[in-house]
Amino acid sequence: MKIKATNDNCWIVRDKEATEKSGILIPDSAKPKVHRGKIMTVGKLVSDPTIKEGYTAIFNKSAGFEIEESGIEYTILRQVDIVGIE
């Protein structure tokens, strides 16, 4: 199923956390979340032309909410929650 964002929402897949080089295992619950990810879909009401599918978004720590769809974990953000684009 192809998901489309609505309104000024963006669906993001977060980047993976960096692995520890020292070999110490850290549980996922203790790792800090990465605050950047690939934009998968953009709603029609997103007015910023730099927010496009395939770009990397940098966003606030407390922004959006997470859902899992088809085995993929998405973070859903509003346009105002994105603070930068790479």
* Domain limits, the chain: 1-9+34-79
Q: If pLDDT is split at 50, 70 and 90, which confidence band does 62 have?
A: confident
Domain 1-9+34-79 in CATH 3.30.470.30? The answer is no
Q: What is the DSSP secondary-structure string of the chain?
A: ------TTEEEEEEPPPPPPTT-----GGGSPPPSEEEEEEE-TT---TT--TTSEEEE-TT-SEEEEETTEEEEEEEGGGEEEE-
What tokens appear for 31 in the block? 């790792």
Q: For a pLDDT cut of 90, what percent of the chain falls above it?
A: 57
Tell me the per-residue pLDDT of 5-19, one tens digit each, with 9 for 90 and over. 899 999 999 887 655
CA angle, residues 44, 71, 33, in degrees to nearest 5: 80
**How much is the average pLDDT of 49-71?**
91
